[in-house]
Structure 1
Amino acid sequence: MNILEKKWSVFFLFFVAISCVAQSSIKGKIVDHNSDPIVGASIQILELKGVGAISDFEGKFTIPITQGTYVLETSYIGFKKNTQKVVITSETVSLTIILQEDIEQLNDVVIKSKTENEKKRSKGYNLNIVEAKNLKNSSTDINQVIKSIPGVNIREVGGLGSNFKLALNGLTGNQIRYFIDGVPMENFGSTLTLNNFPINLVESIEVYKGVVPISLGSDALGGAININTGYKNKNYLDASYSVGSFNTHRVALNTQLIGKRNYYFRFTSFFNYSDNDYIMKDVPVFDLELGNFLGNIDAKRFNDEYTSAMLSAEFGVFDKAYADKWYFRLLNTFNKNNYQHPDNNIFRALGDFNTEGKTYLLSTVYQKTISNLELRASGLVGNVKETYDDTSTRKYNWTGNFIERDESDQLGELGVARSLFRLTDLVANSQFNIKYSLNDNHTIEGNHAFNFLKRKGKDDVNLNNTSFRAPSSLKKNVFGLSYTLKNSQNIYDVTFFGKHYLFSADQENSNGAIAQTIDFSTTGYGLSLAIRPIRDLTLKASYEKAYRIPESYELLGNGLFITPNFDLQPEESDNINLGGRLNTTFSTFKIAYDINLFYRQSNNFIRLKRPEGIFSEFDNLTDVTTKGIESGIKALFINRFEAQFNFTYQDIIDKDRFDEGFENAAFNSRVPNIPYFFWNTRLGAKFLKDKLAIYWNYSFTESFFLKTENNGNPLDKNDIPAQNIHGLDIDYSWKEGRYNLSASVTNLMDDLVFDNFRIQKPGRAIYLKFRYFLQ
């Protein structure tokens, strides 16, 4: 072998040796005591200066290293350092490092990182975010969770699945817009709402009050609610079953599989059922033949069954060169709702009237960040079907007895004629959002949202009902543009924005030609300001000239008892918020405190006119002024004991001098049937190394008048009495949260509780829930 060959042989052997040694590594994951990943933790090899790693957004790290024995030191702000000896004898060593919180160090930290939700809270918008992590074991839905937020009031007319009215700072109903993962739920129908969506399918809920950012592309008048279902690039299975009072059953399943090359599949579903057969106190009974009043009795609800279900399949990719995230989602929902009585009174007992809904939706969402440019686009098409069944030939009273109507009597239970009316909506919406940061201090954002609906109707029984036999359609465009300025020290940031609304509606005749049309456009604007004078304190102010475009059934009618009104104008409101947020840690306490003053000057309110017979229509009438204060505090002691308290006081005054041409008797008085003072408390503690959690809940609502307070003697008026509602939640988890068992008691004291239109709500109810979570 010549000298050259020897040199190459030695070099080759040396290269092979180095390659073999370099294949060894230390891999691991950094987590806290709750097994949540810690992002940005430092991992260092003490024997080798400069050799180490930083944990990624999943808490993971990798350190290539030669075989040997080393001391590994792991550190992160607010946690105690962790050191451990590691012996490298194979190609890869895998570790899970648990860091314990250091309370003393937390007091001395000058710069601390914020979670994404805390960054949102520190903006100038009046925003509450509910993080569902500690609520996933409870037997509840989104409505029951967000009604404990300051300024939020939810009025229901029964049990599970019943119709409800949600109010934010006095603005209510359609004046609030709803979103799932930023996609508008507008025109989704009755099958997917806040009162049937289980909380363990949710990661967080954002509630914007008054002023809504352009990124949601909304024509909200009073606020918006965005449900985040969460996104994790990991495999998991979350399944639960709940059983409880009034023959209530709830099932939820949420699972995700990650494939090769960052593909994923996610399946989400739920099923709800309840008889809602709770006892009603002092309901009136009328003779079925003559209609004479026979007296009041206590009676069980016998026609209030509710069923709903959802199936959702999502396929997508993440962390690709062409997309940070891109998915397609197919959604199918169904519900059937029996009605025991009309929503606004209990004088007429119904035995067969029911509605059904079916919704089919296909949507896609695309997200990509390129340097300083952020893009987000979404699109949705679908079909929504609603059926109203008023075909019963029977007449019921609250005893559950009935008589058959005479053959010549064509009355339905609700209408002047028996009816089986079907509405079919073709819906579509899209949204495009672009955000560009010129530098750390200047950001420009633009948004365009489009909504389309085409409605047809058919009555299979009442041939005289010709509503929507010729289709009607609506088109809405909302354009938004904003500019954000903040200083380098992040002491303040201010956002100026504008929104332009374009709307058109067409109603065809039997020949397919346009019979009526309406077009209007208008422009709104606003700003949000956040100032951080000291660490942990944010002062906020926001204003918006907001508009809300009429809904389809308000403008076009519903084909049954609501007639069209093409003269409706958009609602408008000047919304002002002033407040602050303190989020700090000292000694063994963590405290978050919010306070907000709000003012709403609202005009052209859309309201349902007094009926002419059984028919009515929506019109613009009432001007309303709302002012009030809301505040909330949450305290956490040694991460084990928790206390929450919030209250809302609001004055909602009718400022309209005339009502349909007559002197308005309610002028300058509170708008009736809306609470003006309410508060909530939640106390809890964790035991057995956080495996056992116990919470007590209490809510209070001051009494208020059912009708205007100006007419007659206030002492003789019908009111909705003060409400005191207690609840209890107990959770137990084992096997590191894989198995979870919980018990919930609502209306613990079994108090007589009333809600919207003084309709009685359920008494004491007990629910048990088992949840299995594997990650």
Structure 2
Amino acid sequence: MKHFLLLVLISAFNSLVFAQTGTLSGKVTDDQGKAIAGATVTLKEMNRSTMTDDNGLYEIKSITYGSYTLMISSVIAKPKNIRIKVDQPNTVLHTKVREITDRNLEQVTVQGKTEKRKIETSGFAVNVVDTKEASLRNLQTNELLNRTVGVRVRQVGGFGSNADYNLNGMSGRAIGIFIDGIEISTYGSSFNLNNIPPSMIERIEVYKGVLPAHLAGDYLGGGINVILKKGVSRNNLTASVSYGSFNTQQADLSGTYRNEKTGFTLRGSGFYGYSDNDYEVWSKWAKNELSDGREVQARGKRFNDAFKTYGGRLEAGFTQVKWADQFMVNYNGSYTYKEIQHGQYMARPYKGRFAENNAHIVGLDYLKKDFLLKGLKLNFNGVYSNKKEYIQDTVSYRYNWDGNLVIGNKGVPLRTLGGGQQGLPTMANIDRQIASLRVGLTYQIADGHSVILTHGFYTVDRQDYDQLKTILQQNYEISSDMTTNVSALTYEVDAFQNRLKTSAFAKYYQQKIDRTEPVSRTINGVPTRIENVTKDNRSFTGYGFAASYALMSNLVLISSAEKAVRMPSDGEIFGNPTDNLNSNPTIKPETSNNYNLGFRAGAFNLGDHKISISVSAFIRDTKNKIAIRSNDRAITVMPTSESINLPGTQSKGFEAELNYVYRNLNIALNTSKFNTLIKDSGSPYNNQQIPNEPFFTINGNAQYRLQNLIQKNSALNLYYNFGFVNPFETTWLITKDNYNQTPVQFIQDVGASYLFPNKKLVISFDAKNILNKEAYDNFASQRPGRAFYLKFNYTINNF
């Protein structure tokens, strides 16, 4: 009887999971046959939605046989409902919709919501950041991320300063940063989230903990995947220009062209940015030196912090042709110039130290569905990068925060100990040749069941040399090579009419390091050049899963767990002078057990009111955590640091987000709180919070829209934003004190944007840190005070 009941239960489960299902696909076009991109296609009875791609194509899988209402909506077309019947494995339905010529700004927010919810309920701990509003305002990409739940962007200055990212206690290389799935380090520091404007970005996916198969790599704490704009259903050209405080200037231009007959597609974008970054600082850590050797707290403007950047991206190829769903060749070129105001801490200002970066990158993207056999999809991304970095530091005098020389007791300007602002004088060059390849094969073995095999290959050949060194000294320059391979096998299941989504995976990590460091040794009384060769070849395995279950259409449970491994980066191993980071060839890989559990609820409609909420908790048990050293010495003697291994750390915490909409009012609140404790019984800091980590933050923003103000068919948007950061310690402390702790931070911003009736011109104004409060970031570096910005956006469509 027991065996009979067991068979009945198994049969019932199989009938649910493997019930007769089919796939619905097709193309949405306008009356002239042009593809409608970004249209929402919904099966009403199943509450299942997808969006059309750039070519108007859509696909919904695992549909139980039956009759449904198919609803099609778009910001550029009138809604359309169609009764359909799914009674075969593959149902194809092409449909035309009537284009509308008049749109208002409120409708624009509809586009992307379905894709956002699809990603956020896929089983992973992920938030999707929409950049549409930000692209019209004076916001940097890093500012947008810093307002996202669980994310802290750590910088050491204003516009263009080096940035580090913290996701719920994980930071540095534990966080993967991607551009369209390719690791951002491939592109160089001149093409990164500091200088890519939001107008070039479609959306940003922020994963905390487990990463999906297409981003598989050696990361512990999740990742940030920036999806660049791929064009829309019509040819377009968009330009913007802005100006603001501290002589901050920005401009960007982007456009898309596609030939409907041949499928030939051309996309281009470019950007320019500059800022003096000469904002005032009055931190307790900023000190001036008096002639008698005493130090006093200073107040002055940053005088060696200018930033300049420009770059562009060009893509050309074919989409939706017989031999490829997508074949695109791309080129990225970029340049940055960045003055360096101080070392790791801002105790002593520098003058004359700066860095330049040039990068030239070529890439190939290839996508083909039904590759060789039906149900097999091939996705290939390949990038080759030539990056050149130059750091100059030749000024030997010491300076105070007023920009003047430090004068000694004899009336003579004082010099630095090493002859440069940070150690010895240098004109250092770092050349990197980088290749990054990622290939993925996805095979649908049955409706709702897929197997995914991915492999990532990353190699860097690095050469360091210094022009100030003699020919003999240059014969002792260090050369370094690093190669990393990560393979992953994933099994994905969509069951119970797409209510249950699971992803189980296993990974194999391998890294090879070769470092040659010539040294001089005396052998038999003769100075002899000898090469110290460091070789290391290490491999690890990892595994995990992610799952989500929809209890109702607007209530989804999400969980994930992973044993993760992350290899050190070339900067952590070989050093990076631009980031004031010394080399540490002995650094070890980092391993971690990560757990996430949470839910997403909403939106709940209560008349004109809409509410949605999400909550998640997490645990991170980490061994050999890689972190930048935070010493217990006085911060005035710490211009540089290095990456080290902490024997063990444990992070526990939670994050929550609330969204409320009432007619034209939209309010969002989020908070994140965690503790990251050192776990080392032999350390005096055992069970203490790791310093230099903001562990409790709250963000809030509100937006209100006024229609038809001044002019008919116009729209005025008003914005308010605040950010709260709880005090955090900047160094290791056995005895707590207030000096080495940041103050409470509560920073408030306001802004407005005005959309003209022609829907082409938008003018926006932003006032940041309106109360001019102290704002601190990485290693207690002071951020800008009150600032004002004005921006113009203009769009041309349908040419």
- TM-score by length of structure 2 reads 0.81
In structure 2, how many angstroms separate the alpha carbons of the residues matched to 1:434 and 1:608? Answer: 37
1:534 equivalent to 2:552? Answer: yes
User: Per the alignment, do residues 559 and 227 of structure 1 end up closer, same or farther by CA in structure 2, a change over 3 Å counting?
Assistant: closer
Asked whether the 8 Å contact 1:418–1:462 carries over to 2, the reply is: no
Q: Using a 3 Å threshold, how does the CA distance of structure 1 residues 58 and 599 change in structure 2: closer, same or farther?
A: closer
Residue of structure 2 equivalent to 1:15: none
Paired residue for 1:742, among 721, 741, 764? Answer: 764
Instruction: Answer yes or no: is 1:700 the counterpart of 2:698.
Output: no
Over 3 Å counting, the alpha-carbon distance change for 1:681 and 1:470 in structure 2 is: closer
Structure 2 residue 397 is matched with structure 1 residue 394: yes
Aligned-residue offset at 1:76: 5.2
Question: Secondary structure at 1:160's aligned position in 2?
Answer: coil
Per the alignment, residue 761 of structure 1 pairs with 783
- Counterpart CA distance in 2 for 1:520 and 1:625 is 25
Per the alignment, residue 454 of structure 2 pairs with 447
Give distance in 1, aligned partners of 2:719 and 2:414. 57
User: Larger relative CO (CA 8 A, sep 6+): 1 or 2?
Assistant: 2
The alpha-carbon distance between structure 1 residues 351 and 254, as it changes in their structure 2 partners (threshold 3 A), is same
Aligned equivalents of 1:698 and 1:326: distance in 2? 43
Residues 512-527 of structure 1: matches in 2 within 5 Å? 515-527=533-545
Contact (CA 8 Å) 1:30, 1:37: kept in 2 or not? no
- Once residues 465 and 559 of structure 1 are traced to their aligned partners in structure 2, the CA distance between those partners, rounded to angstroms, is 19
1:28–1:729 Cα change, 3 Å: farther
- Amino acid in structure 2 at the alignment position of 1:402: L
Give the C-alpha shift of residue 576 in structure 1: 0.4
Q: Which amino acid aligns with 2:428?
A: F
Letter of the 1:519 partner, please give it.
N
Distance 1:80-1:771 versus aligned 2 partners, 3 A rule: closer
- Number of residue pairs the alignment of both structures matches: 694
Partner of 1:568: 587
Q: Give the distance between the partners of 2:467 and 2:647, measured in 1 at CA.
A: 37
The reply on whether 1:669 has 2:688 as its aligned counterpart is yes
Find out whether 1:489 has 2:514 as its counterpart: no
The residue that corresponds to 1:724 in the other structure is: 746
Cα distance in 2, alignment partners of residues 670 and 655 from structure 1: 10
Contact 1:537 1:581 in 2 (8 A): yes
- Could you say which residue in structure 2 is the equivalent of 1:131? 130
Q: Which residue number in structure 1 is paired with residue 424 of structure 2?
A: 417
- Distance in 2 of aligned mates of 1:469 and 1:429: 26
Q: What does residue range 111-510 of structure 1 map to in structure 2 within 5 Å?
A: 115-232=114-231, 233-259=233-259, 260-281=261-282, 283-287=286-290, 292-293=293-294, 295-344=296-345, 346-370=346-370, 371-402=374-405, 411-463=418-470, 469-508=477-516
8 A Cα contact 1:430 1:451, kept in partner: yes
User: How far did 1:297 drift?
Assistant: 3.4
Shift of 1:153: 1.2
Greater shift in the superposed pair: 497-506 or 752-761: 752-761
For 1:652 and 1:645, locate their aligned partners in 2 and report how far apart those are by CA, in whole Å. 24
How far residue 447 of structure 1 moved from its aligned partner, in angstroms, is 0.3
Cα-to-partner distance string for 1:458-478 (whole Å, 9 max, x where unaligned): 111134865983521100000
1:770 to 1:509, Cα distance in 2 relative to 1, 3 A: same
Distance 1:499 1:82, change over 3 A: closer
Q: Does 2:599 match 1:544? A: no
Seen in structure 2, the aligned counterparts of structure 1 residues 513 and 372 have a Cα distance that, compared at 3 Å, is farther
Question: How far has the Cα of 1:191 moved from its partner?
Answer: 1.2
d(CA) in 2 for partners of 1:455, 1:541:
40
Report the counterpart of residue 698 of structure 2 in structure 1: 679
Counterpart secondary structure, 2:455: strand
Q: Does 1:606 align with 2:631?
A: no
2:554–2:603 contact (8 Å) kept in structure 1 = yes
Aligned-pair distance for 1:80? 9.5
Which residue in the other structure is 1:9 paired with? none
From 596, 602, 626, the counterpart of 1:583? 602
Cα 1:334–1:702 shift into 2, 3 Å: same
**1:205-261 alpha-carbon deviations (Å, 9 max, x no partner):** 000001112211321111111101122353111110010000000111111222351
Q: Secondary structure at the match of 1:394?
A: coil
C-alpha distance in structure 2 between counterparts of 1:350 and 1:307, whole Å: 18
Deviation of 1:99 after TM superposition, in Å, equals 11
Contact 1:39-1:57 at 8 Å conserved across structures: no
Query: Residue 701 and residue 122 in structure 1: after superposition, are their counterparts in 2 closer, same or farther (change >3 A)?
Result: same
> Equivalents in 2 of 1:117, 1:26: separation in Å?
25
Match of 1:667, SS state, is coil
8 Å contact from structure 1 (residues 606, 622) kept in 2: no
Check whether the contact 1:455–1:468 (CA below 8 A) recurs between aligned residues: no
Q: Mark the CA change 1:467 to 1:202 in structure 2 (over 3 Å): closer, same or farther.
A: farther
Alpha-carbon deviation of 1:272? 0.8
Specify the structure having the higher radius of gyration (Cα): 1
Match of 2:575 among 557, 564, 571: 557
Cα shift readout 1:132-171 (whole Å, capped 9, x = no counterpart): 1222101112110011111111222211011222100101
Tell me: CA distance 1:545–1:318, structure 2 relative to 1, closer, same or farther (3 Å). Answer: same
Q: Note the C-alpha offset of 1:573.
A: 0.8
Per the alignment, residue 651 of structure 2 pairs with 626
AA aligned opposite 2:125 = N
Deviation per residue, 1:107-135 (Å, 9 max, x gap): xxxxxx98233211111100000111222
Contact 2:396 2:421 in 1 (8 A): no
2:185 is paired with a residue whose SS is coil
State the one-letter code of the partner of 2:431: T
Contact 1:38–1:59, Cα closer than 8 Å, also in 2 = no
Distance (whole Å) between structure 2 residues aligned to residue 98 and residue 235 of structure 1: 15
C-alpha distance 80-395 of structure 1, shift in aligned 2 (>3 A): closer
Conservation of the 8 A alpha-carbon contact between 2:72 and 2:80 = no
- CA, structure 1 residues 385+216, in 2 after alignment: closer, same or farther (shift >3 Å)? same
Contact 2:73 2:80 survives alignment (8 Å)? no
Give, in whole Å, the separation in 2 of the partners of 1:571 and 1:467: 34
Shift of 1:58: 7.4
> Conserved in 1, the CA contact under 8 Å of 2:395 and 2:421?
no
Please give the secondary structure, in 2, of the residue aligned with 1:474.
Answer: strand
Gaps of 5+ in 2: 1-28, 45-50, 58-69, 82-95, 105-111, 519-528, 709-713
Equivalent residues of 2:394, 2:421 under 8 A apart: no
Q: Which moved more, 1:668-677 or 1:198-207?
A: 668-677
2:392, 2:428 within 8 Å by CA — same for their partners in 1?
yes
Cα 1:751/1:619, change in 2 over 3 Å: closer
Name the aligned partner's letter for residue 687 of structure 2: N
Tell me, what secondary structure is at the counterpart of 2:299?
strand
1:244 aligned partner, one-letter code = G
Are the structure 2 counterparts of residues 231 and 144 from structure 1 closer, same or farther at C-alpha, using a change threshold of 3 Å? same
Structure 2 residue aligned with 1:5: none
CA RMSD of aligned residues (A): 3.4
Alpha-carbon separation, structure 2, partners of 1:488 and 1:231: 33
Partner amino acid, structure 1, of 2:163: F
1:353-403 C-alpha deviation (Å, 9 max, x unpaired) = 111111111111111212422221011111111111011243322221237
Structure 1 contact 458–468 (Cα < 8 Å) conserved: no
| Structure 2 residue matching 1:27: 3-state secondary structure | coil
1:641 is the counterpart of 2:665: yes
Closer/same/farther in 2, CA of residues 629 and 670 from structure 1, 3 Å limit? same
In 2, are the aligned partners of 1:80 and 1:99 still within 8 Å (CA)? no
Report SS of the residue matched to 1:134: helix
Deviations 1:671-722 (A, max 9, x none): 122122111111111111562111111111112222345x22x355521111
Per the TM alignment, residue 509 of structure 1 is displaced from its structure 2 partner at its CA by 5.8
Percent identity for Structure 1 against Structure 2? 28
Structure 1 residue 487, shift from structure 2 partner: 1.6
User: Matched residue of 1:115: which SS?
Assistant: helix
Farther off after superposition, 671-680 or 418-427: 671-680
Instruction: Please state how far the C-alpha of 1:588 moved relative to its aligned partner.
Output: 2.8
**In 2, Cα distance between equivalents of 1:203 and 1:749:** 32
d(CA) in 2 for partners of 1:58, 1:567 = 48
